[in-house]
A = this chain, B = another copy of it.
Amino acid sequence: MSRERTDEQPAPQALPQRALARLRVAVIDRDPGFMQVLANRFAALGCEHRSLSSPATVEALVAMRLNALVLDLSVVGPESWDYLERVCGRLPGLAVIVCTGPSSVAQRVRGLRLGADAWVTKPCHAEELICVIEAAVRRHRRHELPQIDVASTIGEITIRPDLYQAYVGERSLELTAREFEIVQLLAQSDRVLRREEIYERVWGYAMAHGDRSVDVFIRKLRQKLRAISPAWSYIHTHFGVGYRFAPEPEPDVEAADHRAPVEEPGPELPAALSR
Which residues of A are in contact with B by a Cβ distance under 8 Å?
1-4, 6-8, 11, 15-16, 72-74, 78, 80-81, 92-93, 95, 100-110, 112-118, 122, 125, 127-128, 131-132, 134-136, 138-140, 142-144, 146, 149, 162-165, 172, 174, 176-178, 190-192, 194, 196, 209, 224, 226-227, 230, 238-242, 244, 251-255, 258, 260-262
| B252 and A172 contact, CB distance less than 8 A | yes
Partner of A252 from B106, B165, B226 at Cβ < 8 Å: B165
Partner of A78 from B6, B72, B95, B262 at Cβ < 8 Å: B6
Cβ of A2: which chain B residues have Cβ within 8 Å of it?
A: 72-74, 80, 100-103, 107, 240
Give the nearest-CB partner of A190 in chain B. Answer: B162
| A192 and B172 contact, CB distance less than 8 A | no
Assembly CA distance A79 to B4 (angstroms): 10
Shortest beta-carbon distance from A215 to chain B in Å? 13
Assembly CA distance A100 to B3 (angstroms): 10
| B262 and A164 contact, CB distance less than 8 A | no
| A108 and B80 contact, CB distance less than 8 A | no
Cβ of A106: which chain B residues have Cβ within 8 Å of it?
A: 8
Cβ of A252: which chain B residues have Cβ within 8 Å of it?
A: 163, 165, 172, 174
Give the nearest-CB partner of A114 in chain B. Answer: B15
Partner of A262 from B1, B127, B142, B226 at Cβ < 8 Å: B226
Cβ of A117: which chain B residues have Cβ within 8 Å of it?
A: 135, 138-139
Give the nearest-CB partner of A208 in chain B. Answer: B7
Given the known interface contacts A72-B1, A131-B108, the answer about A178 and B240 at a Cβ–Cβ threshold of 8 Å is yes
Assembly CA distance A92 to B178 (angstroms): 27
Give the nearest-CB partner of A191 in chain B. Answer: B162
| A110 and B262 contact, CB distance less than 8 A | no
